[in-house]
Chains A and B, each alone.
Chain A
């Protein structure tokens, strides 16, 4: 089963990290990710630009309404996601726990993936 791990955190807090702290977190995450890659369990990973760069398209009207900013104004924002292959919820929670130890703070929302197309975009 494929799971999406959606990463939520206060982007103001993440934006206040020092360069050293940022590098340290990324290095720790890389260790976990490398392990998952070797196990053949890591799908696409994305880190999103700040919500200030977001645009929302409300498609319930015609023409759709374009709004500056993220879909919802929340205290914690969707900052990125992982796609992980796991045998079940326990398994993906373990992976998420490991990622969380590398990068504490905020929350992960774990969502089973219904349809997955790897697509054709090069990184």
Chain B
């Protein structure tokens, strides 16, 4: 590995822990970021000459902390936190490295992730902030992923940082209840990042797909810190199993390929193995949770060698469980697909009929309804449902997705109709 590639990987992997520790020292995001930035610059200058330090993370924290203190002393207006917090200035790197193994470091990283998901921030700002602060992506990279201009993204992140600064950094060590609340908020934010990447299609795939990798990296990081949290295992498993299908999910033009039509040989077996191992571990805890149930559904899909081998009965049961854990008409809509496979399209149609008032504005409701009507041979009603779906589609990709449904079901219903005549 070249020096630069090595340093780049070391800085990326050290960032959450180092920045998290600096945030604990300085209690201010901007100060911590600047201190970390300075430490990185020093690393780029000295590591190639002197070789990498024994513990890069400890080195970055030490150098960053000293630089932050120097800065604060130089421009007097900025008050430093009380001495007892940063009094251990004479730490040697190795002493600090020893201490990093302690309990601090879990809460440091969790805090860093948690300040990004402040409830006042809209989801898009939470994600942008986390990608900037925790992942260390440049504003330009994030702007590309969100398909907005650099200036707009810069403004969005500045605004988000302002909100975080105003809210104050929760620096005290969290209690058990707070910790689990923080974990849940952070897990939801990581899932949002993943979905930003996962929902890409067409020309945006190359720009947005890396968000999936980043979300998986963050999920693995979180799981390393909280090894026995079944829901974090579930989340990581879910992301891995979804992402395993990435290479099969798009056609040559970037259109979405439906699960049934995907070339399963293109699924990433390594990611599937890891996802399966994690859901397997999680289930042993017997503490159900929405991420685990969704991961279990994804695992049933991933384990089916052909679409016909999919265990729809089990998937139906899991969706029922999800309906209890996380009641939502969209979950019921998803269950309808499983029900149609197990009990036929009429049963599925009956299941979703009561959802109409709540999902009337959701394009996929009409899409699923159209598909079921089509299977029942009610062509004109199906067509009307599909038209409604296309009218409600938020993006051209969604509209294209529904059109594909139409094409597919038209093609499928033709031979079936012929058989019925016989």
Taking beta carbons and an 8 Å cutoff, which residues of A are in contact with B? Answer: 10, 12-13, 15-17, 21, 25, 49-53, 55, 66-69, 73, 75, 103-105
Contacts and interface: CB of A to CB of B under 8 A. Distances in A.
Query: Which of B9, B10, B274 has the most CB atoms of chain A within a 10 A radius of its CB?
Result: B9
A15 B217 contact: yes
A53 B281 contact: yes
A75 B273 contact: no
B6 A104 contact: yes
Given A17-B9, A52-B278, A53-B278, A69 B221 contact: no
B217 A16 contact: yes
A17 B270 CA distance: 16
A12 B13 contact: yes
A68 B227 contact: yes
A16 B277 contact: no
Contacts of A17: 9
Contacts of B1: 21, 25, 103-105
A105 B47 CA distance: 14
Contacts of A52: 220, 223-224, 227, 233, 236, 278
Interface in B1-59: 1, 5-6, 9-10, 12-14, 55
B274 A16 contact: no
Contact of B274 (A12, A53, A104): A53
Contacts of B270: 49
B166 interface: no
Nearest to A103: B1
A32 B6 CA distance: 21
A50 B217 contact: no
A15 B13 contact: yes
Nearest to B13: A12
Interface in B221-235: 221, 223-224, 227-228, 233
Contacts of A10: 13
Given A68-B228, A104-B6, A49 B101 contact: no
B397 to A, nearest CB: 24
B9 A13 contact: yes
B286 interface: no
Contacts of A104: 1, 6
Contacts of B9: 13, 16-17, 21
A35 B115 CA distance: 51
Nearest to A14: B9
Interface in B201-259: 217, 220-221, 223-224, 227-228, 233, 236
A55 B277 CA distance: 10
8 contacts: A15-B220, A21-B9, A49-B270, A52-B278, A53-B277, A55-B281, A69-B227, A103-B1
Contacts of A53: 274, 277-278, 281
A68 B10 CA distance: 26
Given A49-B273, A52-B236, A104-B1, A12 B221 contact: yes
B100 to A, nearest CB: 9
Contacts of A13: 9-10, 13
Interface string B281-316: 100100000000000000000000000000000000
Contacts of A12: 13-14, 221, 224
Nearest to A70: B227
A73 B10 CA distance: 19
B277 A49 contact: yes
A67 to B, nearest CB: 8
A21 B407 CA distance: 41
Contacts of A51: 224
A61 to B, nearest CB: 17
Nearest to B12: A16
Contacts of A49: 270, 273-274, 277
A113 B223 CA distance: 33
A21 B13 contact: no
A10 B278 CA distance: 20
A109 B153 CA distance: 47
A29 to B, nearest CB: 12
A25 B2 CA distance: 12
A66 B277 CA distance: 15
A38 to B, nearest CB: 26
A75 B13 CA distance: 12
